[in-house]
Amino acid sequence: MQTDKTTNLNQQTAKIHWHELQPHFARGKVLYIDPDLDLLEVAQAMVQDNSRYIAALIAQKRLYAVTETQARQFYQDNQLMWAVVLAPWVLAQPVAETLQ
Q: Say what the pTM is.
A: 0.89
Name the 3-class secondary structure at 94.
strand
- Number of domains observed in the structure of the chain: 1
Task: Give the pairing type, strands 30-33 and 80-86.
Answer: unpaired
Domain residue limits at 65: 14-94
CA distance 28 to 33: 15
**Whether pLDDT at 30 is above 90:** yes
Q: Give the pLDDT mean for 77-94.
A: 96
Mean pLDDT estimate for the chain: 92
pLDDT given at position 12: 86
CA distance 63 to 33: 5
pLDDT given at position 20: 97
Q: Report long-range pairs for 20-23 (Cβ below 8 Å, ≥24 apart).
A: 21/74, 21/81, 21/83, 21/90, 21/92, 22/71, 22/75
Domain membership flag for residue 87: yes
